[in-house]
Amino acid sequence: MKIYNWLLRYRFWLGLVALALAIGVNVYAGFWQSFILYLLAVVAIASHFFIGPMRLIQEYIEAGDMEGAEKVLNMIWFPNLLYKPIRSAYYTLKGQMAMMRQDFAGAEQHMKRSEQLGMPMAEAEGANKLQLGMLAMQRGDFKQGENYIRAAIRAGIPDADGAAMAYLQMCQIYMQKGDIRSLRAAKEMFRKAKAQKASNKEVLEQIKKLNSYISRIPG
């Protein structure tokens, strides 16, 4: 695995070395003797630009090393050359990185680009829409935020913390509307949020804060 990751990280430069060797062999021995080197060079260089080092990024994210993941993202010099599903994943990750830096405008821009390209995995669609909904709510666009969060719930959010956060946001949206019907809907959203069995401390704290108020809503 370490050798594979090393090849992924340095395949562009290895491709250039293979190309230089191929040219040398071609000059001194002929094309067919250099064919394999040309083929290796083309595969290495093309895969760097069209596929990118996304496999490396996944390992950094799983280890919680977002700084390392961002360094690998910066190895992608021309994202528009990436194969479409990979380009979508690239912009999703760029959006997540921007959110961590609290660059909310940049995060929204990247997330929307990812959405326009289509999600590489169906389960990623809900998480992406939830992020867009949270960003819209943050800038005060509650209508668009509600639409995105509803769409996220319909699409499905793969992790319990994200799903709980989506239901909590809908709970708060209904609570702000204030009428009896909306308050009852808020109570139902809160029940669904609790049912997700979230483990994130912020989500659990939000559930704890809302619990006493929600318990007073009739129905």
- Residue 217, classified by CB atoms within 10 Å of its CB into exposed (0-12), middle (13-18) or buried (19+), is middle
Q: Which two tokens stand for residue 96?
A: 């997540």
Residue 123's pLDDT is what? 59
In this prediction, residue 110 carries a pLDDT of 83
| Predicted local distance difference test score (pLDDT) of residue 208 | 85
Q: Is residue 142 within 8 Å of 173, Cβ to Cβ? A: yes
Residue 86 belongs to domain with CATH number: 1.25.40.10
Is residue 2 included in any domain, yes or no?
no
Residue 189 belongs to some domain of the structure: yes
pLDDT at 17 (0 to 100): 93
C-alpha 28/C-alpha 24 separation (Å) is 6
8 A C-beta contact, residue 94 and residue 62: no
Q: What are phi and psi of 117, to 5 degrees?
A: -75, -20
Q: Taking a C-beta distance cutoff of 8 angstroms, is the pair 90, 82 a contact?
A: yes
Give the up-direction half-sphere exposure of residue 148: CA atoms within 13 A in the CB hemisphere: 23
Per-residue pLDDT tens digits of the chain, which is 219 residues long: 578 777 778 889 999 999 999 999 999 988 888 899 999 999 999 988 998 887 787 777 667 677 788 888 888 888 888 888 888 888 888 887 777 777 777 778 888 888 777 765 655 777 788 888 888 888 878 888 888 888 888 888 878 888 888 898 888 888 888 777 888 888 888 888 888 888 888 888 888 888 877 877 765
DSSP per-residue codes, 22-35 = HHHHHHHH-HHHHH
Specify the pLDDT at position 121: 60
Give the residue from 137, 157, 177 where a domain finishes. Answer: 157
- Cα-Cα-Cα-Cα torsion 105, 167, 146, 129, nearest 10 degrees, comes to 50
* Residues 132 and 189 occupy one common structural domain: no
202: domain range? Answer: 159-219
- Domain identity same for 107 and 142: yes
d(CA 64, CA 66): 6
Query: Alpha-carbon distance 214 to 164, whole Å?
Result: 15
How many domains is the chain partitioned into structurally? Answer: 2
Q: Which residues contact 194 (CB under 8 A, 6 or more apart)?
A: 164, 207
Same domain, 133 and 187: no
Domain end point (choices 112, 131, 157): 157
**Do both 106 and 123 map to the same domain?**
yes
